[in-house]
Amino acid sequence: MFFASDNTSPVHPAVMEALTRANEGYAKSYGADDIMDRVRQKIRDLFEAPEAAVYLVATGSAANALGLSIMTEPWQTIFCHRNAHIEEDECGAPEFYIGGGKLALVEGLHGKMDPEALRRAIEFTGRGGVHNHQRGVVALTNVTENGTVYSVRQVKALTAIAKEYGLPVHMDGARFANAIAATEASPAEMTWKAGVDVLSFGGTKNGLMGVEAVVIFDPAKAWEFELRRKRGGHLFSKHRYLSAQMEAYLEGDLWIRLAQHANRMGVTLSKGITALPGASLLHPTDANCVFASFPRRAHRAAHAAEARYYLWPFNQSLDGDEDECLAARLVCSWSTTAEDVEQFLQHLRA
């Protein structure tokens, strides 16, 4: 009953097997390995983008920060949702890798930027000329930090505003597979066809040991990314171990099958929780993340049974009125089983 995060799940066996195979003999370093050649082509085919530049890094923070750094100058602003991952969970990494920069926080329900709020934020920025930060890049997160998913139509509505002002668009796709599984859109429809310029294509939260792909749909930015990746200390020498994970992820559509399962478990968990007396959802369950509120007595029962998940916010206490509802975040992963979900719900019902 481990719902703390999809980061806590094990590595998929197919990925471990791929790493074992990659460990045989010798291979070129720094991304010149044969496996990476295949990965690059697989991602280009998947995204219907034959000219896209594709790079691998080991962490989501590196993928986001380096991706944003090739799109933003030190004196520019990144427009993102108030609860975006780059705002709440990157410890200033985007600003660090940009060499300055600023995040402009845009409002919107359930983790999604409101188009008119984005327009107001862009209009407000740079109004003082040389005295202000200038307009830079629009950054979306899909799946959002509140567990909701932007549809292709919603992405297009935001990118259209960005393009109106001549701004590029970045997408943080740490859970991109879950967003695709939820919408049934193609990767191309959700990204460059909708106006996205750079994507962080996540794998670590979806069964990999530690790999994220940065997909740059404008290859003119490729060399700058290579330089920034090296300068930032994220160019792996034994790169084949990154490549092997990503190749296994893409083989036989494993990436989407794992996300589909995680999403199904998330929806099942969400329905079970909301069937409890007094329980409610804080945000719609669009994918594998559940944000819900339910009575303290149920939280106590779950914790007594050694269930693992986060109270949201963290500073809530299990001590107090048993009928008071406490908010929580629960995340399902590729390895979450129907039995895990049902056992957890039984403890809550008890």
Length of the chain: 350
- Mean pLDDT confidence for 73-100: 96
Q: Is this model's pTM higher than 0.85 or not?
A: yes
pLDDT computed for residue 315 by the predictor: 87
pLDDT of residue 148: 98
pLDDT 10s digits, 135-189: 999 999 999 999 999 999 999 999 999 999 999 999 999 999 999 999 999 999 9
Region 85-94: mean pLDDT is 95
Whether the per-residue pLDDT at 207 is higher than 90: the answer is: yes
pLDDT at 306 over 90: yes
Count the Cβ atoms, other than its own, within 10 Å of residue 136: 27
pLDDT attached to residue 216: 98
Span 11-38, average pLDDT: 97
The CATH topology of domain 255-349 is Aspartate Aminotransferase, domain 1 (3.90.1150)
Q: How far apart are CA 56 and CA 236, in angstroms?
A: 9
pLDDT at 20 over 90: yes
CA separation for the pair 91, 83 (Å, rounded): 13
Whether 255-349 and 13-252 are alike in CATH topology: the answer is: no
pLDDT score, position 127: 86
Domain ranges, ordered by start, for the chain: 13-252, 255-349
Which CATH code for domain 13-252?
3.40.640.10
Check pLDDT > 90 for residue 126: no
pLDDT, tens digit (0-9, with 9 covering 90-100), for 263-290:
999 999 999 999 999 999 999 999 999 9
Identity of the residue numbered 196: V
Q: What is the mean pLDDT of residues 193-220?
A: 97
- Please give the backbone phi and psi of residue 199, each rounded to the nearest 5 degrees, phi first: -125, 135
245 three-state secondary structure: helix
What is the C-alpha separation between 107 and 113, in angstroms, rounded? 6
pLDDT at 350 over 90: no
Q: How far is CA 145 from the centre of its chain?
A: 8
Question: Would you say residue 35 has pLDDT above 90?
Answer: yes
* DSSP helix/strand/coil, 9: coil
Chain-wide mean pLDDT for the chain? 96
- Euclidean distance between CA atoms 320 and 184, whole angstroms: 43
131 band by pLDDT with thresholds 50, 70 and 90: confident
Report the pLDDT value the prediction gives residue 210, as an integer from 0 to 100.
97
15 vs 245: CA distance, rounded Å = 5
Mean local confidence (pLDDT), 232-243? 97
**pLDDT value of residue 12:** 98
At residue 299, does pLDDT exceed 90? yes
Q: Are 216 and 189 in contact (CB under 8 A)?
A: no
Q: Is residue 83 scored above 90 in pLDDT?
A: yes
- pLDDT category at 117 given cuts 50, 70, 90 is very high
Integer angstrom CA distances of residue 179 from 29, 60, 88, 206? 33, 16, 20, 12
